[in-house]
């Protein structure tokens, strides 16, 4: 890891590393600009510098839903070295965007605060979960979100009440890098929180394939339908290209059985979309982000 000082004197770090380390799919090559800022000022400076060079930015946290291809000259901003924040004020919990969901739920539980156990088992960071409005079991993260602080695409720090944000099924209007957020949680006993968390995780392991790397649900569920069921009904479950396979356990998961490449996974995605469109008349929309 080496310190980078360019003409703009960006106080950040350039990481010499492969992107496959930062993706749950374990796929990804090298990046020209892989940066790990240490504070809000760093992020703001990086974004402004990227803008001056007409470079796109890509915030990356847990990498739980990003498929990396050729990222080109995108400026990839990691949250790994940002300060950890966890503060409790009655039912309001303020947390840094780089905290893992599992850690957040466990820490809140120690204060007798819960309600968000429904996202237990999702291997994402808080920032990424907010960006995509993560959810399960008919609940979503915006049900508990109070406010967020983020750095917009111009490098400006903005704190905004969640009521002023647009959000929907696995989507939000947030454009930029989330730094921290506050949630209004429920008073619950530790015993109840733990039981609910373990129940959710048990259901996930029962339904989802966790024996191989994946990005979770590949496609959004169409209204009134389940993407996995549609893919299964089209006879695609188990289809394999290279080392990438449509999971035999849950057809909305594409797994990496060893050394799958971006092209392997991307080809499966295309086959799924084309087949479901042809047989069911439904256009499946990606839930994961494909960067290429």
Please state, in angstroms and rounded to a whole number, the distance separating the CA atoms of residues 172 and 208: 25
CA–CA separation, 188 vs 223, rounded Å?
Answer: 33
Name residue, tokens 């998961």.
253
Name the catalytic one among 170, 180, 214, 247: 170
User: In 84-235, where does DSSP find H-type helix?
Assistant: 101-109, 126-131, 190-207, 227-233
Say whether 180 is catalytic.
no
Catalytic status, residue 45: no
Hey, is 197 helix, strand or coil? helix
Cα 261 versus chain centre, distance: 20
Whether residue 287 lies in the annotated active site = yes
Name 240's Cβ contacts closer than 8 Å, sequence gap at least 6: 246, 257
Q: How far is CA 55 from CA 19, 47, 127, 157, in A?
A: 18, 9, 22, 19
Within 13 Å, how many C-alpha atoms sit on residue 119's CB side?
A: 28
DSSP string, 116-147: -GGGTT---BHHHHHHTT-EETTEEGGGTEEE
> Of these residues, 23, 120, 214, 217, which one is catalytic?
217
Q: Which residues contact 103 (CB under 8 A, 6 or more apart)?
A: none
- List, in sequence order, every residue forming a beta bridge with 186; answer none if it has no partner: 114
Q: How far is CA 174 from CA 62, 148, 178, 181, in A?
A: 18, 10, 8, 13
CA triple 24-85-105, angle to 5 deg: 60
Give the residue numbers annotated as catalytic, written as ranges. 170, 217, 287
């Amino acid at each position: 890891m080496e310190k980078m000082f360019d003409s703009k004197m960006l106080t950040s770090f350039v990481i010499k590393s492969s992107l496959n380390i930062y993706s749950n799919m374990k796929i990804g090559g090298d990046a020209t600009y892989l940066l790990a800022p240490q504070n809000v000022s760093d992020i703001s400076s990086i974004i402004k510098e990227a803008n001056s060079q007409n470079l796109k930015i890509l915030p990356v946290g847990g990498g739980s839903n990003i498929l990396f291809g050729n990222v080109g000259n995108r400026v990839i901003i990691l949250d790994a070295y940002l300060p950890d924040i966890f503060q409790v004020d009655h039912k309001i919990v303020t947390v840094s965007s780089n905290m893992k969901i599992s850690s957040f739920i466990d820490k809140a539980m120690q204060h007798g605060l819960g309600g968000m156990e429904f996202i237990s088992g999702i291997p994402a960071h808080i920032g990424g979960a907010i960006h995509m409005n993560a959810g399960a079991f008919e609940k979503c993260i915006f049900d508990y979100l109070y406010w967020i602080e983020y750095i917009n695409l111009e490098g400006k720090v903005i704190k905004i009440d969640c009521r002023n944000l647009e959000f929907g099924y696995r989507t939000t209007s947030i454009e930029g890098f989330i730094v921290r957020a506050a949630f209004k949680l429920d008073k619950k006993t530790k015993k109840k929180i733990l039981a609910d968390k373990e129940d959710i995780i048990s259901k996930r392991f029962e339904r989802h394939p966790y024996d191989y790397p994946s990005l979770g649900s590949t496609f959004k569920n169409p209204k009134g339908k389940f993407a996995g069921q549609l893919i299964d009904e089209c006879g695609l479950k188990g289809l394999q290209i290279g080392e990438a396979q449509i999971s035999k356990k849950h057809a909305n998961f594409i797994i990496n059985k060893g050394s799958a490449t971006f092209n392997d996974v991307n080809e499966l995605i295309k086959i799924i979309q084309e087949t479901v469109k042809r047989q069911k008349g439904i256009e499946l929309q990606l839930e994961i982000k494909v960067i290429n």
